Structures are given as C-alpha cells and as structure tokens.
Amino acid sequence: MAIIQATIITIGDELLIGQVIDTNSAWMAQELNKAGIRVARRVAVGDVWDEIWNALDEESRHADIILLTGGLGPTADDITKPLLCKYFGGKLIIDEKAKENVVNIFKRLNRPMIERNLLQAEVPDNCTVIQNARGTAPGMWFEKDGKIYVSMPGVPHEMKGMMENYVIPELSKKMQLPVIAHRTLLTAGVGESFLADLIQDFEKALPAHIKLAYLPNYGMVRLRLSSSGFDKEAIENEIELQFAQLQLQVAAYLVTNVDEPMEEVVGKLLLSKNKTMCTAESCTGGYIAHLLTSIPGSSAFYDGSVVSYSYGAKEDLLNVDHQVLLNKGAVSEEVVTAMAKGALQNIKSDFVIAVSGIMGPGGGMSEKPVGTVWVAIGSKEKIETQKLFFRFDRMRNIQLTAVTTLNLLRKFILEQS
C-alpha cells in the first residue's frame, strides 16, 4: 500500500522576506510523521492570489493531503478564506458556533468588538469548520477529487491546537496509515565525515527499507535510523535490532541514545545523581542558563547563573582578583578558574561551568583571535580548564560554546562517578 503524502503550504509575505521564521512547517512535519504521513513538500507563498491558487493546483498533483497555514486574519491582506471559497465553489456564510467563540473571546478580554472581528466567523458553506479553541479564526476542511485540504491560522499556538485535537485524529480515522519508526542517537567530539567512515560497513549492510541519516549541528552529529510499514511490531523490532548495532559502532562518541538536546542530557544526569549545577558566564551572556532553564523542572538540578560581562562584575560578583584581570585579561585560564570557584562559593552548587571568550566579529587580537574561549568546569574538589577555538559568526560561536561546555561537564560528572 502506498505511503500517504502531504504538502505543507505556508502563506504570508512576512515569511518570504524573513521577518517571521516559519516554525509551523517543522512542527507539523514532526506530528504528521509520527502519525504515519510523509511530508513530501513544503511550499511558502506570499499573500498573492495567483500564487496561492497555483500552489493548490500544483500540490494537489503530488500530495494526498494539503495543509495550509496563514492568511486567515481580519485584515485586507488576509486573502486565504475568500480564495478557498472560490477555489472550492462555495459561498461565505457566518458559522454560528465560530461567531459565538469570537464574541466570548472579546467579552473575556473586555475589549470592544467591531464588524471586522465578527467577519472572522465567516467560512465557505461547503467546508467542515474546525473550531478554534485558542483564537478567533476557525479552520476549514475541504475534500475534492479524493484529496484533503485543511486551512488553519498561522499563529503557532492556534494551529497546534487544531492539529492535535482535530486534524491528526480525523486523518487517522479516514486513512489507513503506516507505522513510521525512528531511532536517533547523539554523538559529540567527532565529525560527520569521520563517522561515515567509521560506520560505512554497517551502513552498507542495512536492509534497503531502513535509512540512515546524518544530522550535524553545533559540534555534534545525530544519527537517525528510519523505516516504515504496516506491521508495527515487525518494523519496530527490526529498527531496535539495527539501532543496538549502531550504538556499538559509535560507542566511543555516544552521548545519548534518545533524541534530545545536550542540556536535557546534562539535566537528567544531574537528577540521577541528585546533584545541582550553576554557571558563570561572560561571552555567552546567559545563553547556557537559557538552555538549561528552557527544560521544565530544571530548578531541581540548576541553581542559577552569574552573567559577569565586565571586569567590575567579575570582581564584585565572582571574587575575581583585579590584578589577575589586568595581568592575564578576561579571556584566560586564570580568570575562568577564578570565575568557577567564585560561582561555586556564592551559589553553592555541586558543579559549575565558567566561560570567557571573544565571540566576534571584533575584539580579537593576534594572541587571542575571534573565537577564542576559555572554559572551566568542575566541582569544589577539582576544576578542569580547556581552551577552545571557533571560527563562525557571533551567534554560532555562542551556541557552540554552550553545547561544547555542557558536554565537557557531562564527561566530567561521569568521570567523577
């Protein structure tokens, strides 16, 4: 039986000029994949009638399901609804349930409502209305020539509610969907090319229906095995067998055999040992703290951070000696060691990361070029330092510093154990 294929069409000039980053497509693709639906294409179009119309015509030739987001607002540039009405040969009517939802939202917010707001409840009379529990614009479900078309708001929170509560369950009812199985592991300290050489025999021996993907990012490489079929147990058993072999192949570089970011790996490790950590950040400006505190429940393993960007902040908040700063400079082994000790003393955590560096684009010197970072990680009993070099733009250097230092702390904790 053929794999069900979908196209995601995102609508809005703001996406094409880079004013808004399209996060909808990535999230939708993940959810569709979990349900057994392959996303074959992703298309972005502006708020232009002919471009949206042509995209619908073109994608209906390739996909079984066409999902649209955007263009359902109350302003003149939001043309998706009248276009869909004409495309499917309907006429706009007021949906009473959607109207009631709009009225209730404005009452709850204690805001005046104008006619333009009520027009949010207009829908083509030949669609199935998807009520919006998180906003004013309803979604619309159409079926034509054996294809399914679903239009949803571009607001991520609203779109996700419709996908989770209506679209995915309804697609699962209407279609016989295969199982799509993935297993992903994370490696660090090794490049993509080296990994490919290391596991080339394993990769060649994989059954044709199991695919291996390399996903490099910020000094790490994820390896993902994928397969699909209609025998759930057989597919999952075969993937598990191959995944176990893959883990043995890359054991020297394996960080985790779960698809999760480095900060979650470190957080789980700390929780398993009932320990906590803190950070003393200069060049990363609190980015490591941001990664850690983005994890729900991180207060159980993360105590806090001192972002000490200036000499004065390093001296006053982390007890770094003024003379050391003058003699060695902020980007030095001596200073990050002092920052780490000061953070442990003041925050009283079990483990620490301290960083100081030159992220660019300016500020580099011959002996300390842009991308130079000194790191200290450790505990009250032992501090280890390392000098790192990165060669990218400011933001990527910050991100690489954060992920690399978290991995250094992970290895330090394991070694101490």
Type of residue found at 406: L
- The answer to whether residues 242 and 326 belong to one domain is no
Final residue in a domain of this structure, among 114, 146, 174: 174
pLDDT higher than 90, residue 3: no
Dihedrals φ, ψ of 283, to 5°?
A: -65, -25
Final residue in a domain of this structure, among 209, 233, 256: 256
Type of residue found at 348: K
The three-point CA angle 104-106-110 to 5° equals 115
- Give the domain CATH number at 128: 3.40.980.10
> pLDDT confidence of 183, banded at 50, 70, 90?
very high
- The answer to whether residues 39 and 56 belong to one domain is yes
What's the gap between Cα 75 and its chain centre? 30
Name the token pair of 402. 């954060």
- The answer to whether residues 31 and 170 belong to one domain is yes
**In the prediction, which pLDDT does 94 show?**
95
Model confidence pLDDT, tens digit, residues 17-27: 999 999 999 99
**In the prediction, which pLDDT does 74 show?**
86
**Which region holds residue 199: left if phi is over 0, alpha if psi is between -120 and 50, else beta?**
alpha
- The answer to whether residues 61 and 165 belong to one domain is yes
**In the prediction, which pLDDT does 77 show?**
83
- The answer to whether residues 202 and 247 belong to one domain is yes
Q: How far apart are CA 338 and CA 354, in angstroms?
A: 9
- The answer to whether residues 234 and 375 belong to one domain is no
Q: Evaluate whether 336 touches 355 at the Cβ level (below 8 Å).
A: yes
Q: Evaluate whether 65 touches 5 at the Cβ level (below 8 Å).
A: yes
What's the gap between Cα 391 and its chain centre? 24
- The answer to whether residues 89 and 114 belong to one domain is yes
Mean pLDDT of 310-336: 97
pLDDT higher than 60, residue 282: yes
410: part of which helix (H) or strand (E)? helix 394-416
> pLDDT confidence of 75, banded at 50, 70, 90?
confident
Number of domains in the chain: 3
- The answer to whether residues 147 and 12 belong to one domain is yes
In the block, residue with structure tokens 């939802």: 101
What's the gap between Cα 84 and its chain centre? 31
Q: How far apart are CA 123 and CA 153, in angstroms?
A: 13
Single out the residue of 141, 154, 148 nearest to residue 59, CA to CA: 148
> pLDDT confidence of 324, banded at 50, 70, 90?
very high
> pLDDT confidence of 170, banded at 50, 70, 90?
very high
**In the prediction, which pLDDT does 396 show?**
95
- The answer to whether residues 21 and 49 belong to one domain is yes
Final residue in a domain of this structure, among 256, 288, 322: 256
* Alpha-carbon separation of residue 417 from 90, 249, 348, 381, 410 (angstroms): 68, 24, 20, 13, 11
Mean pLDDT of 72-100: 94
Which structural domain range is residue 285 located in? 262-416
- Give the domain CATH number at 244: 3.30.70.2860
Mean pLDDT of the chain: 95
- The answer to whether residues 275 and 235 belong to one domain is no
pTM over 0.95: no
Strand 147-152 to strand 139-144: parallel, antiparallel, or no bridges (unpaired)?
antiparallel
- Listed in order, strand segments (DSSP E) in 282-409 are 302-307, 351-357, 372-378, 383-389
Q: Evaluate whether 225 touches 168 at the Cβ level (below 8 Å).
A: no
Name the token pair of 371. 């991308």
- The answer to whether residues 135 and 213 belong to one domain is no
In the block, residue with structure tokens 């698809």: 259
pLDDT above 90 covers a percentage of the chain that reads: 90
**In the prediction, which pLDDT does 417 show?**
79
Dihedrals φ, ψ of 382, to 5°?
A: -155, 130
- Listed in order, strand segments (DSSP E) in 209-256 are 211-217, 220-229, 254-256
**In the prediction, which pLDDT does 73 show?**
86
- The answer to whether residues 225 and 239 belong to one domain is yes
Name the token pair of 330. 């902020």
- Give the domain CATH number at 386: 3.90.950.20
CA atoms within 13 A on the CB side of 296: 0
The DSSP output letter for 350 is S
pLDDT higher than 60, residue 1: no
What is the strand order of the sheet 65-69 is part of?
38-45, 5-11, 65-69, 147-152, 139-144, 128-130
**Which region holds residue 232: left if phi is over 0, alpha if psi is between -120 and 50, else beta?**
alpha
Mean pLDDT of 97-117: 91
